[in-house]
Structure 1
């Protein structure tokens, strides 16, 4: 089912807390799977704590670097101007490179979607009929009520006592998803360890404008801002990938909605055949348009994601750096270089 792309994938435990705490139970603690679940939760908690600590350390480095930079004397105004100029130049080049890489990923996605559109146009009617026949009760008794409920709910209904819902939109989008799933998993992997060159986040992680900066305290500040932005974008990418993926089925459902409504209004003898006829007719009329529209909508949303990433990096990084370089002070503050070095070492330990 496509919904698996929208859920966190982890192990499943059939735990029994009652048996675990029951001293008279014949089960060993390990048989209840509570210990295994506990270890998994500890591991997840440790991972989240490490991530939060890393973000905190990076933020602290940025603050200390700002303190250090504030103490730059007026003689270094030319250095600041040079840093800003170099940064703007580097930012422009890095954003262009990132844009090209994300465009390449978009082209890969478009090819997969195009194959899905082609197969869907040829096979969607047969696939839908075959899959519907596979879930239809052998006696067919009362199935017209289920079919009407499906149409009343715009293509998806979960009958009582059934193991899963009947989703006509899922049947219709089967070939679209079959052709993009492999590429989509590479572009948006569930596990960070599975990131490859085809991953959107991997391309964002390559973004680096600090390499040209000359003043060490400013370089540290820029790096921390980049790290902070990448972490924020990673969360946004996860949210937006779900919308991109589900947009295919959403588009098909919206296009089919009038047909579902017409079919749901059928009553009386032979209504089952008439409902099926209306749905088949609707699919035949729309198939050369709705799958192409689903493809266009998914590509538009991916392009919107690309623009969001680029604009966020550009605007947020420039605002931070301009604010950073505008700081001047004649007040003698404490030397925080040692603290910065300590945080650098801690940051390195967390990344190992």
Structure 2
């Protein structure tokens, strides 16, 4: 205990509590964070407890920005480039409001308080109120009690935005991430130079104040398969002259096996190299477990992590060839509170497990950063190849809303001796940045296949200099555009909507509990149930009709796609298996395509995907329709927005006097409408990725038999044998293969439509029945809790004197 706590208790005429607070170690900081449940434990007597709660609430409201009495440990702070908190600089209040919570009567929120701190306290208070209410619900196993407990549990959700970061080695990707999040030594420059397959996620540590790394390994079976492929590749490559790509592949394999096994690995069989003795220092790999590393500083963690993310010279063995993904958690970083930055390999991976994870992460990115050197921004082939090959996984098969093309090292061109004046240098940099942006935008406008998945407004170009942001030699910080990227991440961390969602949901549940205790209004409950029956039927019919029209439109598009696929499959096939490459050079490539079931990634980042090529006419036939039906951008919503229009008019009914006896139940049902639509939109967003990808997945499944036969072709003439096997199989299967892909996609779409209607009807009907047809004889009185949460909700909405209309 400190003097502050003792003085406050004495001032409030509660000095008898001093010893209790001292025994519990309550200091000034923890004093401000005492919640509903903590206070109940500390002060069991009602009189002193009520007095304390009222005065603590008043004390919190009195605090203004800069008041030294409050220890604002959770206030948002500008990232410090040294990795230390810069407590003197507050960020602006969180911007952006969740549209689903807007009310016609809403007033602007006042920004006279440190909003993030106050909202964090408020959210903590409401969570503790709901925790206490959860415990108060009787343990009897009946529908209403179980329903209420489940609804309280469902309030807790993790809103997380994923930002994928692409870029070739040397583009300054790690330096950029470190600078933006204010952790100068988190990702060493070149951290993935020797392990382009390792995915690195960076997010906030919300549990403790340590830097943590969670390392996930590939499985033993996957490594064994990789060993077999590597040994066979090296053996086969010795029998013929290799092209440039093959020679680089050979060097990569040699390096990977050398760093893991040391010398003499080439004299051992794959079975020998799987001996446990090689992995005794990483038992987590043998046991299929994750490995956890911790450190008090970024430097301490990086020193331990180096063995799993890069090559070096200070130790004999490195384990990055076995790593699937590394998740780094950073303490005290508000930019990452609801955001995960993912340092991504360019175009997936040959390892199936890593490639599957890559596609899943790319598909979950709401934003993608493509990082490239400004000197080659518009002409760098690898950066544009990443965009072209990954666009379908980000767009129709993903949920990406924005593409940020980030040109790094914008200051480097200013270091010429013929520009000695700082003013001249600054003017040159800024002028060149403008030119670079224009060039990138012009190049993007030419990518018609990419633009099928994204609108013109989805691209934004940044020209950044991490060096100038840190050194302030020539440019002002804002001119480096690093602050703009930080502001963007702040916007993704929409803490206000997270708090508002939880508080509104809690208000609905407490309204339902208290409403269930009331015995009056039996007649009006019956009448409302009858009205809801018809309203439900009408609302579901609108949703069903719109979705049926969508299904029919896709069927028409795919029918055209099937016919075009049949007529074009020979040409598409020839472009992959008969390229303008000498046979002896292409032999290794085709063998790799076959070995990896139709896909191959070249050293230059280009991906050859035979399955995708065969399904291209099908996907092209639906691209535009799919983007409009399942948009990643805008406010329309999934299925052309019809789901967002589903309504039982509960909000309007709460305003009518004739429904005053069931107003509490109507408030609950209104929140249930919002929650189920949010839940279904999330389900649709995830399922639409699989539906779109199913066209290629079905082709791959159908082609599997062909690849298995082609894998057996060896010796002289094997190139011709593989080509003939693939060609004969595709031409012989085309009448069935493309129709099957169409049918599979439509069946998945139909299943999704059926699930949406069933979940909508079942969820809302259950809520109606338990709200209006069940008496809560045994459930607790939550009038006080309801009033507290109602006041918190009005505070969040900026309308403290108005009754909340939900």
Shorter-chain TM-score category? 0.7 to 0.9
Partner of 1:13: 406
Instruction: Give the 3 Å change call, closer, same or farther, for CA 32–15 of structure 1 in structure 2.
Output: farther
- In the alignment, structure 1 segments of 5+ residues that lack a partner are none
Q: CA deviation at 1:9?
A: 4.0
Please tell me the root mean square deviation across aligned C-alpha atoms, in Å.
3.1
The answer for the alignment partner of 1:187 in structure 2 is 629
Q: In the alignment, which residue of structure 1 is the partner of 2:393? A: 3
Hey, what's the Cα distance between the residues in 2 that align with 1:347 and 1:271?
71
Q: Which residue of 1 aligns with 2:267?
A: none
Q: Which residue of the other structure, out of 484, 490, 497, is the alignment partner of 1:36? A: 484
Cα distance in 2, alignment partners of residues 219 and 92 from structure 1? 18
1:276-330 residue CA offsets vs partner (Å, 9 max, x unmatched): 1111111111111111111111111111111111111111112222222213459
Q: Which residue of 1 aligns with 2:372?
A: none
Preserved CA contact (<8 Å) 2:513 2:776: no
SS in 2 for 1:192: coil
SS of alignment partner, residue 13 of structure 1: strand
1:275 counterpart (709, 717, 722): 722
Cross-structure match for 1:309: 756
Distance 1:271 1:333, change over 3 A: closer
Task: Return the match for 1:89 from 508, 511, 534.
Answer: 534
Once residues 476 and 796 of structure 2 are traced to their aligned partners in structure 1, the CA distance between those partners, rounded to angstroms, is 42
Residue 40 of structure 1 and its aligned partner are, at CA, apart by 1.4
Match of 1:166 among 590, 594, 608: 608
Aligned twin of 1:62: 508
In structure 1, C-alpha distance between the alignment counterparts of 2:405 and 2:789, rounded to whole Å: 44
In 2, are the aligned partners of 1:154 and 1:253 still within 8 Å (CA)?
Answer: yes
TM-score in terms of structure 2 length: 0.39
Residues 36-76 of structure 1: CA deviation (Å, up to 9, x unaligned)? 32121112113xx24323422330331242145235334x1
Distance in 2 (CA, whole Å) between partners of 1:247 and 1:172 is 13
Cα 1:329/1:147, change in 2 over 3 Å: same
Normalising by structure 1, we get a TM-score of 0.85
The residue that corresponds to 1:323 in the other structure is 770
CA distance in structure 2 between the aligned counterparts of 1:236 and 1:334, rounded to whole angstroms = 35
Q: Give 1:338 deviation, angstroms.
A: 10
> 1:35, CA displacement in angstroms?
2.4
Task: Give the CA deviation at 1:137.
Answer: 6.0
Deviates more, 1:209-218 or 1:264-273: 209-218
Q: 2:588 aligns with which of 107, 121, 145?
A: 145
Work out the CA distance in 2 between the residues paired with 1:162 and 1:137: 17
Per-residue CA deviations over 1:209-254 (Å, capped at 9, x if unaligned) read: 2359544333222111010101111111111001101111000001
Q: Which moved more, 1:305-314 or 1:243-252?
A: 305-314
Query: C-alpha displacement at 1:131, in angstroms?
Result: 5.0
Offset, 1:263: 1.5
Higher relative contact order at CA 8 Å, sep ≥6: structure 1 or structure 2?
1
Matches within 5 A, 1:276-291: 276-291=723-738
- Residue pair 1:120, 1:291 contacting (<8 A) in 2 also: yes
Hey, what does 1:53 align to over in structure 2?
A: 499
Corresponding residue for residue 111 of structure 1: 556
The 3 A distance-change label for structure 1 pair 348 and 262 is: farther
Distance 1:332 1:246, change over 3 A: closer
1:256 aligns with 2:703: yes
Structure ID, larger Rg? 2
Cα shift readout 1:111-163 (whole Å, capped 9, x = no counterpart): 11111111001111112213555xx464444311110111111101113x132
- Residue 693 of structure 2, aligned match among 219, 223, 246: 246
CA distance in 2, matches of 1:293, 1:208: 37
CA distance in 2, matches of 1:150, 1:206: 47
1:97 to partner: Cα distance: 2.2
Contact 1:19 1:27 in 2 (8 A): no
**2:470 & 2:794 partners in 1: Cα distance?**
50
| Cα distance in 1, alignment partners of residues 617 and 643 from structure 2 | 30
8 A Cα contact 2:469 2:480, kept in partner: no
Aligned to 2:254: none
The structure-2 alpha-carbon separation of the partners of 1:88 and 1:314, relative to structure 1 and needing over 3 Å to count, comes to same
In 1, the alpha carbon distance for the partners of 2:648 and 2:798 equals 20
Gaps of 5+ in 2: 1-388, 410-464, 654-658, 800-806
| 8 A contact 2:577–2:723 mirrored in 1 | no
DSSP 3-state at the match of 1:157: strand
* Paired residue secondary structure (1:166): strand
- Higher normalized strand content (fraction of residues): 2
**What SS does the aligned partner of 2:552 have?**
helix
SS at match of 2:405: coil
Partners of 2:775 and 2:798 lie apart in 1 by 28
| Inter-partner Cα distance in structure 1 for 2:731 and 2:581 | 27
Higher share of residues assigned helix:
1
**Residue 712 of structure 2 is aligned to residue 265 of structure 1:** yes
Aligned to 1:177: 619
Deviates more, 1:262-271 or 1:203-212: 203-212
- Please tell me whether residue 126 in structure 1 is matched to residue 565 in structure 2: no
Measure the CA separation in 2 of the matches of 1:138 and 1:33. Answer: 44
Pick closer, same or farther for the CA change 1:183–1:285 going to 2, 3 Å. same
Query: Which structure 2 residues correspond to residues 67-82 of structure 1 after superposition, within 5 A?
Result: 67-74=513-520, 76-82=521-527
Given the alignment, which residue of 614, 632, 639 partners 1:200?
A: 639
Deviations 1:185-216 (A, max 9, x none): 011101133x27xx416111111123595443
